[in-house]
Amino acid sequence: MDFWTPQHTAFVLAMVILTTVAAYTDLRYHRIKNWLTLPFFAAGWIYQFWAHGPAGLLDGFYGFLLGFGTYFALWMIAGGGGGDTKLMGAISVWLGFKMTLYLMIVSTAIVALNFLVVSVIAFFRFGFRGLKKPHSAAANTDAKSKPLTAVKVRPRHAVPFAVPLAIAAWIVMLADATVVKGGQLGPKPNAPAPHQPAP
């Protein structure tokens, strides 16, 4: 970019802090805390109005409908994590509709790639037996075929969703600052035009 504004700085710092802390708590505690998502959700509306005015609030609302709405529906249907849904809700307000759509596409691709890599590794290590469903009875028993307790049961090779979401958010931000037009890191209203060299 040929320019950098306080809005750009606030956006990048907020996204890096939100996604990094969420990825850490999801890896460490298998939870995404409300004390993280709720303040960033509220701050996202303030940012949108500060950076883009009423149009920003509308864009944040559309982004929220897309991101939170989609993951809320998946949560209701498939029983995913409520913390993941709230995290997407907080992020989508900041990103707006267009970047939220890109985020969902990239994060889904990362999750699919991770699943493919894990499946290939499991196949070469254990054969077809290694491709059993992670939540199957065989996967959740110990060496003596005794069921594991609820505390010990973990999906094999599971990567917490906040991790691919964080990676996807950083990729989308990098693209928005370089090749994608019309995102949060583009020119702001009333921003001075980049300096044009004299012919």
Distance, first Cα to last Cα, the chain: 21
In a domain, 118, yes or no: yes
In a domain, 191, yes or no: no
Beta bridge partners of residue 57, listed in sequence order: none
In a domain, 198, yes or no: no
What is the per-residue pLDDT for 129?
A: 62
One-letter amino acid of 163: V
Query: Which of 88, 85, 156 is CA-nearest to residue 118?
Result: 156
In a domain, 184, yes or no: no
In a domain, 196, yes or no: no
In a domain, 194, yes or no: no
146 Cβ contact list (under 8 Å, min separation 6): none
Q: State the pTM of this model.
A: 0.76
6-29 and 82-126 are packed helices; what angle lies between their axes, rounded to 10 degrees?
60
What is the per-residue pLDDT for 172?
A: 93
**Residue-number span of the structural domain to which 46 is assigned:** 6-176
Distance of CA 51 to the CA centre of its chain: 22
Q: For the chain, which ranges sit under pLDDT 70?
A: 1-3, 79-80, 123, 126-158, 186-199
Per the CB < 8 A criterion, the answer to whether 51 and 73 are in contact is: no
Q: How many domains does the chain have?
A: 1
CA 48, CA 102: separation in Å to the nearest integer? 18
Per the CB < 8 A criterion, the answer to whether 184 and 176 are in contact is: yes
54-78 and 34-52 are packed helices; what angle lies between their axes, rounded to 10 degrees?
150
In a domain, 71, yes or no: yes
In a domain, 147, yes or no: yes
